[in-house]
Amino acid sequence: MDDDRLDARLAVARAAAEAGGALAREYFERRAELAVETKGPHDLVSVADRAVETEIRRVIAGTFPDDPLVGEEHGGDAADTGWVVDPIDGTQNFLRGIPHFVVSIAYRRAGRTEVGVIHDPNTGDIHAARRGRGATRNGTPIRVSGIGALDRAVLGVGHSPRHPAAQYNATVAAVVSAGSQTRNYCCAALQLAYVADGRLDATWDPYLLDWDVAAGILLVEEAGGSAVPFVPGRLGPSADRLLAGNAGLVDALRPLLP
């Protein structure tokens, strides 16, 4: 595939993320009216999630109707080449009126993510990356932080009810004992965007699926960081853990994390 086709997909990903984000904000303003279903403990889905994914699919299909697409809400056939979409990452926050949720869209070719966009409709920020071209926020180049010392680091620490509480507690205890501060925005894609942007120095989560992180991992890598050991294509129930940040901090953290 030539560069022009990937550039076109990046443009479409931005357009789809903005369209989906605008719709998500509309639903957010009237979230009390939404029908909500429970997929599992603390795992919710609303009419908004499905409507936003439908809008994203519509925008992408307008230019690339033959591209495979897999989304968190409407599914699809996973493919080595195609789109991976999380229409609202941070649904718990969304439904509680907490403005920490994003739209995440990635395009993968031959098993490797080539395009990634994370849009925060609450701030208007668009984090975008094209493999080999770097990462940006609102068109301005971004880099991961240069903080490699644990006693100066601010870390995102994720949690999942699918893992024992002891795992989360042990992780927090280990990094706090090393002198780090922690944050949990309950939105993996947002935390990865913050790592790419240097707002967080690193982030760790014990249970993530492909649509949570496909765009964010590329952002971190193109912003000069590293992400380990997530295996692309995890669509559940086989989730994977992820540690992402600047390379020095990732190396320092790996011995401390389960």
User: What 8-state DSSP symbol labels residue 103?
Assistant: E
Are residues 209 and 230 both part of a single domain? yes
Q: Which of 2-6, 74-78, 109-113, 160-164 has the highest mean pLDDT?
A: 109-113
Q: Into how many domains does the chain fold?
A: 2
User: What 8-state DSSP symbol labels residue 227?
Assistant: E
- Residue with token string 């479409």: 12
Are residues 136 and 169 both part of a single domain? no
Binding residues for Mg(2+): 72, 86, 88-89, 212
Are residues 125 and 30 both part of a single domain? yes
* Per-residue confidence band for 45, with pLDDT thresholds at 50, 70 and 90: low
d(CA 88, CA 20): 9
101 or 40, higher pLDDT: 101
> What are 182-220's pLDDT values in tens digits?
999 999 999 999 999 999 999 999 888 889 999 999 999
For residue 60, the model assigns a pLDDT of: 97
Contact assessment for residue 87 and residue 95, using Cβ atoms and an 8 Å cutoff: no
For residue 40, the model assigns a pLDDT of: 46
- Residue with token string 């180049």: 141
**How many Cβ atoms from other residues are within 10 Å of residue 96's Cβ?**
12
For residue 241, the model assigns a pLDDT of: 81
Are residues 28 and 102 both part of a single domain? yes
For residue 46, the model assigns a pLDDT of: 73
d(CA 130, CA 144): 16
221 or 73, higher pLDDT: 221
End-of-domain residue from the set 112, 141, 170: 141
Are residues 132 and 210 both part of a single domain? no
Are residues 164 and 102 both part of a single domain? no
* Per-residue confidence band for 42, with pLDDT thresholds at 50, 70 and 90: very low
33 or 12, higher pLDDT: 12
Are residues 174 and 123 both part of a single domain? no
* Per-residue confidence band for 43, with pLDDT thresholds at 50, 70 and 90: very low
- Residue with token string 């940040």: 245
Are residues 45 and 111 both part of a single domain? yes
Contact assessment for residue 82 and residue 70, using Cβ atoms and an 8 Å cutoff: yes
pTM over the 0.95 mark: no
Binding residues: 72, 86, 88-89, 212
Are residues 88 and 12 both part of a single domain? yes
Q: Domain containing 25 — which CATH number?
A: 3.30.540.10
**pLDDT over 90 (residue 250):** yes
Q: Domain containing 174 — which CATH number?
A: 3.40.190.80
**pLDDT over 60 (residue 237):** no
Are residues 209 and 233 both part of a single domain? yes
End-of-domain residue from the set 94, 119, 141: 141
**pLDDT over 80 (residue 240):** no
Are residues 128 and 183 both part of a single domain? no
> What are 46-93's pLDDT values in tens digits?
788 889 999 999 999 999 999 999 987 776 776 789 999 999 999 889
Are residues 154 and 61 both part of a single domain? no
* Per-residue confidence band for 170, with pLDDT thresholds at 50, 70 and 90: confident
End-of-domain residue from the set 141, 172, 202: 141
Q: Which domain holds residue 156?
A: 150-256
For residue 44, the model assigns a pLDDT of: 47
For residue 233, the model assigns a pLDDT of: 55
